[in-house]
Amino acid sequence: MTHQPIPIEVVLANPTLDKKLRTIAEKVVHQTRLSEEDGILLFEKGELGFVGALANHVRERLHGNTVYFNRNFHIEPTNVCIYTCNFCSYSRQYKHRDDGWELTKEQMLNMVKKYDDQPVTEVHIVGGVHPKMNLEFFCELIQDINTHRPDLHIKGFTAVELDYMFRKAKLSNEEGLAKMKAAGLQSLPGGGAEIFHPEVREKICADKVDAAGWLDIHATAHRLGMHSNATMLYGHIENYQHRVDHMSRLRNLQDQTGGFNCFIPLKFRNMDNDMSHVPEVSIIEDMRLYAISRIFMDNFKNLKAYWPMLGRQQAQLSLAFGVNDLDGTIDDTTKIYSMAGSEEQTPAMSTEELCDLITAVGKVPVERDTLYNSIKVYGEAVV
C-alpha cells in the first residue's frame, strides 16, 4: 500500500473548491510564492486532504520518492540552565544543579570514542546554558573531537547557547562564530527559535535571546560559510498569525543567505513543565502544520520530522504531508523529549528499522550527510 495523497489535479477539478483555496492551489502549481495571508488562510480553512495534496505535490517536485536520514549521535553537555523557558521539562536551574548533569570534556570525548568503529557522519551537540561552560571550554571540546575524528561533521550549539557564550566572552557574533569555526564547528542546529513573535516569546521564554538575536547569529554563520537548521516550537499558546510570522521571518532570511539546510517543526510536549496545563495538539493538527510549512517555506529544500519527538508512526505518516527527512539517529541518547513526555522513551532506531519504516509507505530511504549530500540509496520502495 502506498498511502498516496490525492493528486493536485484532482483537487483542482473539484468544482465546489473554495475560491481562495483554489487560488492558493494554482499558485502552488505555478510555483508562485504564497503571501502571509495565504498562509493564515491555509491554517484557518485548509482541510487535511487539501493541504496534504498540495504539500505532496511540492515534495514530489523537489525530492521525488526520496526520504533522507542520517547517522548521527547526540551529546548533551549539561541540562543546567540559566534560563527558565516555561515549556522546558529538561533543564535544572543553577541553584539546583545537583539534580542535573554536567559532563566533563573527557566524558564527552569518550562518548565520541564509543563510535570509533561505527559509520556515523555527524555529532549533534546541544544542551542547557551553563554559566561555567564558556566559549573556551567548547572551543577546546570541538578541537579535541576534530583531532580525534576529522571525518565527523560537528553540528552544535543553538543560537541561545552561542548568544550567551559570546556575550560572556565580550565578542560579537561574528568574532565568536569565527573562533568556533576555526576550532572545527561546521553547522548550527535549529533550536532556540521557539516562536519569534514577542507576544508569545515574552510569555514562554522571556529571558533568552530574542528573534533578532537568533536570526542574526544564523545570518552571521551563513555569511561565514556555515550552514544551519531552523525550528519552530508549535502547538501551545501561539495562534496561526504567530506561526506564519515565524515562518515568514525564516523565509526572508533564507532569501538573503540561502544558508538554512532544513526546517524542523517541533511539537510542544506537555509533561513535567510549567505549561503542563496546555493540551497537546492532535495528530491532524501536526500533519496540517507539516503540510502548510512545506507549501509556505518555498525556499527551504528540506522539511524534517524529528521522530524521537513526534513518535515513529506519526513520523512515518508525515511523509505523506511534505516531510522528506526523518533525521534518523541510530543511537540517540537525547533527553529533551523523553523528559517532556514523548512516547519515545528510549529513542534508538537501527538503520534497518528506519529503512523499513520508509519503504513501507512507498518511499526510498537515502542516507545523507549533514549538508544533504547522498551517501547511500537503500533499496527500492515496497509498493
CB of 211 to ligand V47, least distance (A): 13
Nearer to ligand V47, 57 or 153 (CB): 153
Binding site for ligand V47 (CB under 6 A): 87-89, 126, 189-192, 194, 229, 231, 233, 264, 266, 268-269, 273, 306, 327, 336, 340
Binding site for ligand SF4 (CB under 6 A): 81, 83, 85, 88, 90-91, 128-129, 160, 205, 208
Nearer to ligand SF4, 208 or 222 (CB): 208
CA 355-359-360 angle, 5° bins? 115
Cell match 565580550: residue? Answer: 170
Q: Contacts by 32-37 with C-beta closer than 8 Å and gap 24+?
A: 33/298, 34/295, 34/296, 34/298, 36/244, 36/245, 36/248
**Cell digits of residue 127:** 544542551
CB of 193 to ligand V47, least distance (A): 7
How big, in percent rounded to 5, are the helix, strand and coil portions of the chain? 45, 15, 45
341 torsion bin: left (phi>0), alpha (psi -120 to 50), beta (else): left
Partner whose footprint covers residue 208, from ligand V47, ligand SF4, none (CB < 5 to 8 Å by kind): ligand SF4
- How many other C-beta atoms lie within 10 A of the C-beta of residue 119? 12
Partner whose footprint covers residue 128, from ligand V47, ligand SF4, none (CB < 5 to 8 Å by kind): ligand SF4
Nearer to ligand V47, 72 or 359 (CB): 72
Position of minimal CB gap to ligand V47 = 191
- How many other C-beta atoms lie within 10 A of the C-beta of residue 110? 11
Q: Which helix (H) or strand (E) holds 315?
A: helix 312-318
CB of 133 to ligand V47, least distance (A): 17
CB of 338 to ligand V47, least distance (A): 11
**CA diameter of the chain:** 65
Q: What is the CA radius of gyration of the chain?
A: 20
Q: Rounded CA gap, 159 and 212, in Å?
A: 11
> Terminus-to-terminus CA distance in the chain, angstroms?
6
Partner whose footprint covers residue 263, from ligand SF4, ligand V47, none (CB < 5 to 8 Å by kind): none
Partner whose footprint covers residue 83, from ligand V47, ligand SF4, none (CB < 5 to 8 Å by kind): ligand SF4
Nearer to ligand SF4, 83 or 101 (CB): 83
Partner whose footprint covers residue 264, from ligand V47, ligand SF4, none (CB < 5 to 8 Å by kind): ligand V47
The b/e string for 233-246 (b: 16+ C-beta within 10 A; e otherwise) is bbbbebeeebbbbb
CB of 122 to ligand SF4, least distance (A): 21
CB of 130 to ligand SF4, least distance (A): 10
Nearer to ligand SF4, 83 or 115 (CB): 83
Nearer to ligand V47, 260 or 296 (CB): 260
CB of 85 to ligand SF4, least distance (A): 3
Nearer to ligand V47, 24 or 85 (CB): 85
Q: Provide the 3-class DSSP secondary structure of residue 291.
A: helix
Measure the CA dihedral 288/291/292/297, to 10°.
150
Partner whose footprint covers residue 293, from ligand V47, ligand SF4, none (CB < 5 to 8 Å by kind): none
Nearer to ligand SF4, 160 or 289 (CB): 160
CB of 275 to ligand SF4, least distance (A): 12
Closest CA to 69 of 311, 306, 347, 312: 306
